[in-house]
């Protein structure tokens, strides 16, 4: 038995549809001095866990330099070298079993095997130990994969970041990566009924409908899976964060049982929060399409 299992107590897992505000909110929370997380280096070298030692060079008792996604603020000169939180799907694909695709599968009703659980937990313990922190935190977008993750981390705490669905759809339609992923197909797999797949065939020519259909499925399954598995999950509305960022972050810290953090205070002060309204770029027909998808239900 690993003597450092205490490093896995109550890991914090941020979930939510892409473009829902989960990046800006999670990166503020991940500025907490106690938290370790998968870094951008693991996206490039998923097997080289020793790279997590690099965080100590950038973030220690003498100075603190953390990287961040360029979508948040103007990034510093060393941003590409500095460790920053990342979803690190290549890392998760490396530690999960052959036969599942962690980055795309909903993983509904899936659990980790005993060997898989051991391998993941040992890798995460090493991440936390190398970064010299006290607790583990991570973020993934799309399906929550809550049941699967709870089978690995039974006492995990989930933070579900959601946004008004029309704004989420509008934002996804604007980003280049969605063109190749889910604008013309079902990017996330393994959760659709025969009726849903039949309905998809009738809308697959329309990127707005295809996107709304997938976002709705992610949001619906997130809440149901959390309820079915008894997951401890806090749902946070992105629009509430825009109006009162300190209050929402404070609620998250309390829910996650994290103490006061000077690092989070600095991150909040340094983060420029922009109240963008991507829905304003949508035409009337696109809004009608989204409403039509939301109102659809199987017979």
Hey, how many other C-beta atoms are within 10 angstroms of the C-beta on 33?
15
78 versus 176: which is more confidently predicted?
176
User: Please, which pLDDT band fits residue 65 given cuts at 50, 70 and 90?
Assistant: confident
- Structure confidence by residue, pLDDT tens digits, 77-136: 566 678 999 999 999 999 999 989 999 999 999 999 999 999 999 999 999 999 999 999
Q: What is the chain's mean pLDDT, rounded?
A: 92
Kind of pairing between the strands at 157-162 and 12-15: parallel
Render 12-72 in DSSP notation, one character per residue.
EEEEB-TTSSHHHHHHHHTTSTTEE--BHHHHH-TT-GGGGGHHHHHBSSS-B-----TTT
Structure tokens at 114: 């005993």
Q: What is the pLDDT of residue 1?
A: 53
pLDDT of residue 137: 98
Q: pLDDT (tens digit, 9 = 90+) per residue, 149-165?
A: 999 999 999 999 999 99
Confidence of residue 3 (pLDDT cuts 50, 70, 90): confident
Q: Is there a domain that residue 237 lies in?
A: yes
User: Using one digit for the tens of pLDDT, what is the confidence trace for 19-57?
Assistant: 999 999 999 999 999 999 999 999 999 999 999 999 998
Percent of the chain with pLDDT over 90: 82
- Whole-model pTM: value is 0.93
Res. 213: pLDDT tops 60: yes
Report yes or no on 118 lying in a domain.
Answer: yes
Q: Has residue 77 been placed in a domain?
A: yes
| DSSP H/E element including 93 | helix 89-95
pLDDT on residue 254: 98
Output the domain CATH number for residue 48.
3.40.50.300
Q: Which residue has the higher pLDDT, 92 or 60?
A: 92
Q: In what order do the strands lie in the sheet with 135-139?
A: 35-36, 135-139, 12-15, 157-162, 232-237
Residue 268 domain boundaries: 9-165+231-278
In a domain, 65, yes or no: yes
Residue 265: its pLDDT value, please?
96
Pairing of strands 135-139, 35-36: parallel
235 in a structural domain:
yes
For residue 176, tell me if it sits in a domain. no
Residues 207, 173 contacting (CB under 8 angstroms)? yes
Residue 193, domain member (yes or no): no
Is residue 190 situated within a structural domain? no
Output 276 or 21, whichever has higher pLDDT. Answer: 21
Number of structural domains (the chain) is: 1
Query: Is residue 281 classed as helix, strand or coil in its secondary structure?
Result: helix
């Amino acid at each position: 038995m690993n003597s450092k299992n205490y490093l896995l107590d109550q890991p914090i897992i941020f979930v939510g549809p892409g473009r829902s505000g989960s990046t800006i909110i999670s990166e503020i929370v991940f500025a907490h001095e106690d938290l370790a997380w998968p870094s951008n280096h693991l996206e490039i070298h998923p097997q080289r866990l020793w790279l997590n030692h690099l965080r100590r060079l950038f973030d220690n008792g003498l100075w603190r330099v953390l990287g961040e996604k360029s979508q948040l603020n103007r990034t510093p000169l060393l941003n590409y070298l500095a460790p920053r939180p990342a979803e690190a799907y290549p890392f998760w694909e490396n530690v999960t079993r052959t036969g599942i695709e962690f980055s795309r599968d909903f993983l509904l009703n899936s659990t980790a095997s005993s060997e898989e659980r051991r391998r993941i937990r040992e890798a995460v313990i090493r991440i936390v130990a190398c970064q010299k922190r006290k607790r583990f935190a991570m973020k993934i977008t799309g399906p929550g994969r809550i049941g699967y993750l709870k089978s690995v981390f039974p006492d995990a705490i989930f933070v579900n970041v959601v946004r008004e669905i029309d704004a989420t759809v509008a934002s996804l339609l604007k980003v280049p990566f969605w063109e190749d992923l889910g604008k013309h197909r079902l990017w996330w797999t393994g959760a659709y009924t025969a009726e849903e797949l039949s309905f998809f065939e009738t809308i697959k020519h329309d990127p707005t409908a295809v996107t709304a259909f997938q976002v709705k499925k992610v949001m619906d399954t997130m809440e149901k899976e959390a309820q079915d598995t008894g997951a401890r999950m806090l749902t946070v509305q992105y629009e509430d964060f825009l109006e009162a960022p300190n209050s929402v972050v404070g609620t998250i810290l309390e829910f996650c049982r994290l103490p006061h953090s000077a690092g989070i205070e600095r991150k909040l002060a340094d983060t420029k929060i922009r109240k963008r309204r991507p829905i304003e770029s949508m035409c009337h027909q696109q809004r009608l399409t989204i409403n039509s998808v939301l109102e659809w239900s199987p017979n």
